[in-house]
Amino acid sequence: MRHRYVPQRGINLDYLMWLFTRISGLGIVFLALIGLASAMYMGARMQMDLPTGLRWTFLPNPNHVINSNIPDVTLGWANAFWQIMQYLIVFFAFTHAANGIRMITEDYVGHTFWQPFLRAFIALLWIGMLIVGIYVILGSAY
Amino acid sequence: MAYGKYTGFKGWLYKGSTPYYGFALHRLTAMGIILFVGIHVAASFSMQQALGTWGTTINIIYESWWFQIFVVFCVLFHTLNGMRVVILDIWPKLIKYSREAVYLEWAIFIPIYALTVFLIINGALSAG
């Protein structure tokens, strides 16, 4: 006989992650708006056009997607403000994503023998992606 | 989706109407974004550390116009649908207008996405 698993009421992982998903989702949107506003504010002195501002906000990575017509994002991360913005976005995005993958897989797998292994694998993936993302940002700050 | 019930292909025919399609699309676009951002970070690492040429190969894919159309769809839909979910969760009184919220979401999504796709294709045609 199978029983349907009902989560406990009160503060538990599911509730906290439910809350975190909302907060981090709003946080990413908010950070994107701050980034766009700051890019426009800082770039106005250099007559920066809109595509450059968008590139600086959303894809400020000097190592990848580099052959676009939009110049000069190499200096983007040589600045503590943009580095902190990127760390926050990386942290919020990967945590949001890892929890999303956990929820989707557990909808299909359920509370079976495999659940702890899947959770451990996703946690490992989460830590690994955080480390690689932060390393790329740190390593690009030349 | 209820745990323990394998819905299979019939799950996609579930008559949950617009909010259900939003739910399914939200998950699909989430997987799209995870794929996009995960490969982007890995390829950045590879190109920064000069680990072979596969980062350059992925760079070519990421700069192609059809891939950008796909990425913009995923990111824009996931953002707008997520904001709809957050707003309805914070103010539960608005749930009676959930259908209107879905219409509003598409009313915001379609013009922005259509303009973006137009600009991407226009740029691709003028560059090529």
* DSSP notation for A30-75: HHHHHHHHHHHHHHGGGT--HHHHHHHHH---TTSS--SS----TT
pLDDT tens digits, residue range A35-84? 888 877 777 666 767 777 777 777 777 777 666 555 555 555 667 787 88
Residues of B within 8 A of A101 (CB-CB) are 34
Cβ–Cβ < 8 Å for B116, B79 = no
Q: How far apart are CA B36 and CA B59, in angstroms?
A: 12
Q: Do the Cβ atoms of A61 and B44 come within 8 Å?
A: yes
Residues of B within 8 A of A136 (CB-CB) are 41, 44-45, 48
User: Per-residue pLDDT for A1 more than 60?
Assistant: no
Give the ipTM.
Answer: 0.79
Q: How far apart are CA A136 and CA B47, in angstroms?
A: 10
Closest of A82, A25, A55 to residue B33, by C-alpha? A25
Q: How far apart are CA A3 and CA A106, in angstroms?
A: 15
Residues of A within 8 A of B4 (CB-CB) are 2, 4, 110
Residues of B within 8 A of A61 (CB-CB) are 40, 44
Task: Quote the pLDDT of residue B8.
Answer: 57
Residues of B within 8 A of A108 (CB-CB) are 1
**CATH topology (fold) of B15-127:** 3 helical TM bundles of succinate and fumarate reductases (1.20.1300)
Cβ–Cβ < 8 Å for B89, A32 = no
Q: Do the Cβ atoms of A25 and B44 come within 8 Å?
A: no
Q: Which residue has the higher pLDDT, A86 or A64?
A: A86
Q: List the single residue in B with minimal CA-CA distance to A108.
A: B3
Distance from CA of B86 to the nearest CA of A (A): 6
Could you say which of A5, A66, A136 has the minimum Cβ distance to residue B3? Answer: A5
Dmax (CA) of chain A: 69
User: And the tokens for A122?
Assistant: 């996703």
Q: How far apart are CA A56 and CA A39, in angstroms?
A: 7
Q: Do the Cβ atoms of B38 and A129 come within 8 Å?
A: yes
* CA dist A49 → A57, A70, A71, A107 (Å): 13, 9, 11, 45
Query: Does A93 contact B at CB distance below 8 Å?
Result: yes
Task: Quote the pLDDT of residue B1.
Answer: 46
pLDDT tens digits, residue range B63-106? 788 888 999 999 999 999 999 999 998 998 988 888 888 889 99
Q: How far apart are CA B112 and CA B114, in angstroms?
A: 6
Torsion angle of C-alpha atoms B95, B97, B101, B102, degrees rounded to 10: 90
User: Per-residue pLDDT for A3 more than 80?
Assistant: no
